[in-house]
Amino acid sequence: MRKGMKRRSKWLKFISRAVYAGISSVLLLSCSNNSYEGMVVAVELEEIHQGSNEGAKLIAIDFRNSGKPAKILSTEFQGAAAPALTHDGRYLYFQGKKEGDKAWQIWVADLQKKTSTRVTELQENCIHPAPLPDGTVVFSREGSVNGKLVFDLWRCQMDGTGLTRLTFDPSINQHATVLNEGRVLFTSSQQYPDAKSPVIMVMRPDGTKSELYFNGNSGINPVSDGRESDHGFIYFVGNGGKLGRIHHNRPLHTFENLSAGLKGSFSALAPDGSECLVSYQPSEGIPFGLYRFNPESRETPTLLYQGEYHLTDPVLIAALPERPRILPSAVNPKNTSGLLMSQDINHSQHPVHAGITGDTLADRIRVSTLDKELGIVEVKADGSFYLKLDADTPFRIESLNKQGEIIRGPSDWIYLRPNERRACVGCHADPELAPKNFQPLAVKEDPVVLTAEKKENSQ
């Protein structure tokens, strides 16, 4: 009996291995149809200006064959930039325009069929695509808030359908990338009421749970997308051409300036195993070229390819070892509101405002949108509050004392997606803190309603 079971077990293992080998062969065969596999697609520019890609070209570089010339991929376009590869290595998204006076739009190239199709067809500039593992793509779309130029993050299918707005704060939100754990990284710089330095934010792909990821360090703020390596590091280029990285486990407290002590300037990068492919300029007068950089030794980058013009935004054409996670969404368009709870508004890593003459502990909050005050709400004895607010509407919060003085705030702009439920520890508390395991007094009652629904019911 046991011998028979052993033979059966061996036979099942043999079949499993054979099936696995067959699947692997199919996958390898499918990848082999991509003649660009193992090459680098990059952007070629005569001049590099921050935020401008006029006249840019997409080129393919076989950097392992140094004598082989680069191939122009965007011959039909007046400009093409910001390449981004799907996790399977087949589709390359990019921003492009076929006529110089038209707005940038999102395009996608099938690297196997060697064809390209337009994804968006909108009036505004659409830039910086980031493909998601479910087949959709996130991108930045130009807009304005009270006369200030902003970019919001949007999402759609590969054919442009299902267009959905994800961010609603008055900021320039761009340079989106997808983390292996499924969330989306992007740079964000507030534009209204005043401009602030860019930071890195992170959110779920449906726009919920948007929060600070990295707020700059030692005067270095991100000006490129954040690229995740196999070792859990997020690499980015900062102002002044500096190359930095943070670790995904503690992004607020692990910043490293990798270019300290190095001459020259960086403009973009792509992790490649334990090293990085970087766009690097060793000195003024020499165009940015493709180099290899070891972030551990931090020695001067090694040249791989030098063209006549500047080269930036390198993308290694290769499938990821694993597909990024596809996160579920709690967004429900039928619910036009969201819920926000805070445990204690007096718990903060920031001091109270200077010049306070009354109480230094707040007992109420003021909630305001872009154009009006929604109301003043008294908090509970433990400092907690619980609010119901209109979805997709940016708002800020100030904490006040009994005398009406502003203790802390205004906060950064916050917004809730339809049906979203969010909670925070306190007012400008350390984002790494987890809420204490107790039930705040505020949630023992119904939320305070500050929505258009309340206004309609009061009329």
State mean pLDDT over 393-401.
97
Q: What is the pLDDT of residue 453?
A: 62
Q: What is the pLDDT of residue 14?
A: 39
What pLDDT band is residue 11 in, cutting at 50, 70 and 90?
very low
Q: Could you give the 3-state DSSP secondary structure of residue 9?
A: helix
What pLDDT band is residue 10 in, cutting at 50, 70 and 90?
very low
State mean pLDDT over 336-344.
96
Q: What is the pLDDT of residue 426?
A: 64
Please report the domains of the chain, with CATH numbers, ordered by start residue: 34-316 (2.120.10.30), 337-458 (2.60.40.1120)
Instruction: Cite the beta strand spans of 78-136 per DSSP E.
Output: 79-85, 91-97, 105-110, 115-118, 126-131
What pLDDT band is residue 348 in, cutting at 50, 70 and 90?
confident
What pLDDT band is residue 429 in, cutting at 50, 70 and 90?
low
Distance from the Cα of residue 164 to its chain's centroid: 16
Q: What is the pLDDT of residue 459?
A: 39
Would the pTM of this model clear 0.85, i.e. be above it?
yes
- The string of pLDDT tens digits covering residues 155-200 is 999 999 999 999 999 999 999 999 999 999 999 999 999 999 999 9
Element holding 17 (H helix, E strand): helix 2-32
Tokens of 47: 């001049």
Q: What is the pLDDT of residue 431?
A: 64
- Work out whether strand 164-165 and strand 148-156 pair parallel, antiparallel, or are unpaired: antiparallel
The least confident of 40-44, 227-231, 421-425 is 421-425
CA-closest candidate to residue 224, choices 205, 247, 242? 242
